[in-house]
Amino acid sequence: MDIHQILAHLPHRYPFLLVDRVLEVEAGKSIHAYKNVTINEPFFQGHFPHHPVMPGVLIMEALAQAAGILSFKTMGEMPSDDSVFYFVGIDNARFKKPVMPGDQLHLHVEIERQMRGIWKYKAVAKVDGEVAAEANLMCAKRDIAK
């Protein structure tokens, strides 16, 4: 999936869109996407000016966005103004390697289960084939009250 298809499958926009390309997606199973991490990212101005490192919370968010694309593909739906996919939980988060400007952050997410509107995923972020971060994520689709 190129950036135009990603934009159609996620409601996120700059500066919070954290998926640049989807290399592989198998509905109901898994996704492999990536984020090109550049020095131009707004968070690097303050995290840290003398040693820029991508915040761990944004690595988790990138994984959650990949999970969102996978979920929409699995449901055969597109985002709408009537609902939102909330990031509702992170378990067993571990950060193994700092993510720096110039890195390509590969996002690997597998669906573990989906039950009563709650999706659970196994997520791993890698740089150069090495694990940078991993976690079990949970997301939920909820209607927006109007």
Enzyme catalytic residues: 47
Classified as helix, coil or strand, 21 is: strand
CB 22 within 8 A of CB 6: yes
CA distance 134 to 91: 9
Contacts of 29 (CB under 8 A, 6+ apart): 110, 111
CA triple 6-142-70, angle to 5 deg: 30
Classified as helix, coil or strand, 110 is: strand
CB 62 within 8 A of CB 134: no
CA distance 12 to 90: 20
